[in-house]
Amino acid sequence: MTTRKSGILFVVSGPSGAGKGTVCKALMERRPELCLSVSVTTRAPRPGEVHGVNYFFETENTFEAMIANQELLEWAKVYDNYYGTPRSFVETKLAAGYDVLLEIDIQGAMQVKQTYPDGVFIFLIPPSATELEARILGRGTETEESFQKRFGAARHELQMMKEYNYVVVNDVVEAACQRVEAIIEAEHCSVSRNLYLLSEW
C-alpha cells in the first residue's frame, strides 16, 4: 500500500506542429508549482544558459556512462550531441511530492513509457490536418521538400496516439491548457494514487 503521496510524471508529446512547447510554456505559467524536467546534453552551453536550469551539461564520456548505468529515462543522439532525461532528477522531484512535466518527442515518450510506466502520457494534436499544414508552413523555414517530409512524418506519428493515456486537441492554447489541467486534477483523485488515505483512517 502507498504510504505517502508522491508527485506524478506528466509526459506531453505529439507530432511536429502540435504546439507542445507553446502549451507547456503556458501551462507552467498557469501552474508554477509544476516542475519542468531538465534534460542532460553533451552540447556546449549557449550564451546565457545555466547548468541545472536550462540543461545539465555533461561530457560525452559521462553521458555514455549514464546510458550504461541506466540513469536516463530516455535518450537520443541528435546532430552528434546526446540529449536525455536524467532519472535521478525526475525521481527526486517526484519523491518530494512535486509533479514533473516532461515535454518530449514521441520516440522519447515511448522510451519513458518503458522505463517509467507509472507516468501519465498525454498526446497533443492539432485540430485538423489543414491546421497542422498551416502551422508547419507558418514557421517560414520549410522548403517544399522538407514540408512534405515533416507533414508526412506528422501524419504517421498521429497513429501513435493509441499508446497514450489521454489525447488533447490543441485548438486554442488556453483551452488546451485547461484540458491538461483537468487531467492533472483527475490523476490526483485516482484511487490508486490515494491509497495512503486508508492508513490515515
Q: What is the pLDDT of residues 30-76, one digit of tens each?
A: 999 999 999 999 999 999 999 999 999 999 999 999 999 999 999 99
**pLDDT-derived band at 3, boundaries 50, 70, 90:** very low
As a whole number, mean pLDDT of residues 17-25 equals 91
As a whole number, mean pLDDT of residues 152-179 equals 92
C-alpha to C-alpha distance for 6 and 122, rounded to whole angstroms: 19
How far is CA 62 from each of CA 15, 40, 55, 102, 137, rounded to the nearest angstrom? 31, 10, 14, 22, 39
pTM of the full structure: 0.87
Which three cell numbers, joined as nine digits, stand for 147? Answer: 514540408
At 100 the pLDDT is: 97
Q: What is the pLDDT of residues 72-88, one digit of tens each?
A: 999 999 889 999 999 99
As a whole number, mean pLDDT of residues 11-30 equals 92
Distance, first Cα to last Cα, the chain? 14
Average pLDDT value for the chain: 90
At 144 the pLDDT is: 74
Please check whether residue 52 is in contact with residue 144, taking contact to mean a CB–CB distance below 8 angstroms.
no
pLDDT over 70 percentage in the chain: 94
8-state DSSP, 43: S
Q: What is the pLDDT of residues 111-148, one digit of tens each?
A: 999 999 999 999 999 888 777 777 667 666 667 777 67
Residue with cell 553521458: 63
At 149 the pLDDT is: 73
**pLDDT-derived band at 2, boundaries 50, 70, 90:** very low
Give 181: exposed, middle or buried? Use CB within 10 Å, 0-12, 13-18, 19+. middle
pLDDT over 90 percentage in the chain: 71
Least confident of 7-21, 123-137, 138-152, 179-193: 138-152
